[in-house]
Every structure is written in structure tokens, then in C-alpha cells.
A and B are shown apart, each in its own frame.
Chain A
Amino acid sequence: MNRFSYARAADVAQALELRGAGPAAQFVAGGTNLVDLIREHVARPTRVIDITRLPLREIEAMPAGGVRVGALVTNSALAYDERIASRYPLVAAAVLSGASAQIRNVATVGGNLLQRTRCVYFYDTATACNKRAPGSGCAALDGVNRMHAILGASEHCIATHPSDMCVALAALDAEVCVEGPNGARSIAFDAFHRLPGDTPHRDTTLGDDELVTAIVLPPEGFAAHHAYVKVRDRQSYAFALVSVAACVALDQRGAMRDVRCALGGVAHKPWRDRRAESTLVGRRPSRDAFAELADAIVRDARGRPGNAFKIELATRAIVRAFEQALAPKENEQ
């Protein structure tokens, strides 16, 4: 690892002050991604700011009905929290399908949002990667790309966002609370992660001088009809080839009044196609309806030689996820 100095922040204000602006200083909480990136020489901060002592570990019910989760709440604490498990089981299921228990025990909500792609080229400084070294090229395009994007990519970058939690948060339309020198603001989840475009070195819209302080889960958790389906090459401890967070709310007649479908493992950010979702509103749940939804979502999907199979896989995973969401007491995969 390169030589960096260590500072410990006692509160948010101090954390922001220590950070200043620019990538030379980085916050560390669980460290399960950052420490790895520093060791691989992908991240080279001159200063690491320990924010683990910040008072951001609370999960609190909000007056309007939602739940606010502090950025330092660990993945395990989040998934096993009574309120989350009962009101937002989709989030619990997604979190528990990711990583390992050891990692979940220290990785934080904030870190999970900000974790970087696991693209093998991003991680290997001997290769060309526009995300790591802008302008150097993208070796993944014609290389080993089984894990890479089929939606929303560009010729500059086909990396995927590796998080499971974020797919659930995207489905629920969570909000990300951040603080900076100019005060606090709230970012809609869909606007937090970026598409690569021609600036793939920027993963999120978080300012270089800002700190994630919390996420807010809206009142609707779709506890009655939800599913998280994760398709991967082995039974556990592996990133998704494709994952789907599916949620449905039914009206009194049994028709769908709200449909959410977020995909993981397929793009630079969790993928939502609101237009496709809206076409199902008012219809009764049926395999055909979900197959149509799936086809609409992948209509513009483009695969590389190593991952084109993910397009068909995604459509089947979507149908499976909605079947599970609507089946009584079906377990997640």
C-alpha cells in the first residue's frame, strides 16, 4: 500500500474538514473495499480518515413512515434488524445474499453504496482501464467480460456495480442523505450512481467533499410481495451474473398498482426501467405480463462475446423473481 497518513474524525464536521476536496483523502469505515483497493494500488490516497466513531449507526423510524438508516450501520446489523426484516425484507434478503458473514459484519451501508466495481481490469494495474486511468482504454470490451454490463454501457466502460443492497434500494426508491461544506442534501437513489458515458472514472454524483450520512427507506417496503433472485456461478460468496429485486403492490381487485423491477450485475448502476414498469400498472399479475416486462427491459441490451447470455438470463430471472414475489411464502434463492 502507498504511504498515507491516518486521521480519526469525532463528528461529521471534523470528517468534512479533514477531507477537503479531491480524491487524495478518503474516508474509511469497514474498509472491506477501500483497504483492498489501496493494497492493489488502484486507490492511492495520501490520507485516510477513519469515520467509524461518527454517530451514524442508528436505525430510526421516521414520522412520515419511512426508516432512516445511518451510513455506518453494518450490513449485518441492517439485515437482522427487526424493523428491516419485517418491513423491508427485500433489503434484508439482498444484503444477506452478498459477500460473506465476515464482510457483512463490518461493511457499512455507506461503504456498500460507494463500493467500486470488481472488474478484473479495473483491479489489474497492468491493463488498460478508463475508470482507473482515464484515457487508457477499456480492455474488458474484447477481453474477459462474463461479469460485465449488458445495459447502459459505453465504449469507454462496461463495468457493473457489484452491490446487492443497492439493487433493493433502487427498487424501493430510497434516498441517500449526504453532507458537505455547503450543508446537507438528499439524492434520489436513481440519481446517486452514474452511467459510465465518457467519464467512467466517476461512479457516483457524490461530491468529492461530501460524506454519505444515511439512507432513507420510504414507507412502502413491499413486504407482502417481494423477491430477490440472485443468479451466480456458485451457491454462495459470489457476485451476481444477474440479480433481480422484484416488488409488487396489488389493489383490492388484485391488479397491480405498483411494480418495481431493479436489476443487478447488468449495468454500471442498479437498473430500473420505469417506463417498462408502468406498462404493468392496472394489469393482473401473469407470467405473460412479466415476460413482457422482461422483454421491454432488455430491449436495448447489448452483450459482449463473454456475457451475451445474460440478456436471456435476465429475462428469465425477472419472470422468476415476480413469480416468487407473488407466490405465498416463497423463499428467496
Chain B
Amino acid sequence: MAHVIDTESRTLDPSPDPDSPPAVPVVLTINGEQHALDVEPWTTLLDLLRERLHLTGTKKGCDHGQCGACTVLVDGTRINACLALAAVYDGARITTVEGLAQQDTLHPVQQAFVDHDAFQCGYCTPGQICSAVGLLAEGHAHTRDEIREQMSGNLCRCGAYVNIVDAVEAVQRAGSNAEEDER
């Protein structure tokens, strides 16, 4: 017995779209470079980075805060860019994966990832690396198990987890201070 469904019937009454809400002027320092931009209120940091600034190093893995592929550092703290409204982050200093290396020299975490083969397809990798830089700065992971726990916000479907933990542990052991190295 067929019955008809209206797609509108299961949502809240849609609020009337305001006519062209004004863009928000923001100043964002990204990898050391200042950008003065007008952003739409609903633009996330992730889409701003990827679509507008063409910094595609930061990846969209779910747009839902459930995978960590979009992890960037804001004032040294790791966050998910997909849930960050760019307007809210006016004035912030943001570091993306593109901002970690110093000219030809890879950041110790990047180098460790290469040395330990801590990736396969590479798509989760920028997020893993920024997350690891953030983790090292936070200073709360003292055992291998704690590294695993505190890196659990970064999914890797290729399953390179063991090597990822090896890489992070190696940097930690080498005493590299991520705070000193990132701008």
C-alpha cells in the first residue's frame, strides 16, 4: 500500500532565511601569515582552509567531529576544524600541516611518521600529525597506552595505528619539544 511522504514533515518549521546575512570580517593568522577575510557566518575553518585558501593539507573525513582528519592547531591546541566556525576564531593563530616544516626540514613529528611508516594512504596523516604535535604540547601522555588513548580522536582506516604510536613515542623519547618547533 503506497503512501506519500513529504520531506518537510519531519523537520522543525524551517526558520525563514534572513536576507543575505552580513559577512563577518575576521583576521586569521595561518602558518604565520595574516589573512584579513570576510567570511559567511556558517563557514567552518575547514572549508575556509580547503576551499577558499586552497590549503588542502587539512582533510575532511566526516565533517562531524568523529574522525579527527581535520585536526589543526589553534594557538598550539589541537581542535577539529570541521566544527569550528571561522567567525568565532577571529584573531586566532592557526597552524596547519603545511606550517609545520621549516623550509626543507620536516618537523620532528613529520620525520618520525616517515621513519616509522606511520601512514598508508596518507589521508588521515595531516590530522594525525597535528594531533600528535598537540598531544606532545599537552604533556599528559606518559605511557604508550596513554598515547594510544589520547590519539584515539584520529581514525586511521588503513590501520597504521601501531606505527603511529611508535612515531609519537619516538619523538617523545627524543625529547623534542613541539612547542618550541611550531610557530
Contact = CB atoms under 8 A, between A and B. Distances in A.
A and B touch in their complex, CB below 8 angstroms: yes
B126 interface: no
A3 B9 contact: no
Is chain A's binding surface mostly helix, strand, loop or mixed? loop
A80 B139 CA distance: 11
Contacts of B7: 125-126
A129 B134 contact: no
Given A31-B84, A106-B84, A125 B78 contact: no
B17 A2 contact: yes
B41 A102 contact: no
B128 to A, nearest CB: 12
B24 A133 contact: no
Contacts of B14: 2, 44
Interface in A28-63: 28, 30-32, 35-36, 38-39, 41, 44-48, 50, 52
Interface stretch (B49-57, B63-71, B95-103, B168-176): B63-71
B135 A6 contact: no
A127 B9 CA distance: 9
Contacts of B10: 125-129, 132-133, 136
Contact of B18 (A4, A31, A32, A35): A4
A36 B65 contact: yes
B18 A5 contact: yes
A132 B138 CA distance: 38
Give the contact-size bracket for chain B: 35 or more
B159 to A, nearest CB: 14
Interface in B102-150: 131, 134-135, 138, 140, 148-150
A103 B65 contact: yes
Contact of B149 (A32, A38, A102, A236): A236
A327 interface: no
23 contacts: A2-B14, A3-B41, A4-B18, A30-B83, A31-B84, A35-B84, A36-B65, A44-B14, A48-B85, A50-B85, A50-B87, A100-B152, A102-B153, A103-B153, A105-B77, A106-B79, A125-B7, A126-B7, A126-B10, A129-B10, A133-B9, A236-B148, A236-B149
Given A3-B18, A125-B7, 16 more contacts: A2-B14, A4-B41, A5-B22, A6-B41, A32-B83, A35-B83, A39-B64, A41-B11, A46-B17, A99-B153, A100-B152, A101-B135, A102-B79, A105-B77, A136-B9, A237-B153
A45 B65 CA distance: 20
Given A3-B21, A46-B18, A236 B152 contact: yes
Contacts of B154: 100
Interface string A77-103: 000100000000000000000011111
B37 to A, nearest CB: 14
Nearest to A134: B12
Given A48-B85, A101-B78, A5 B11 contact: no
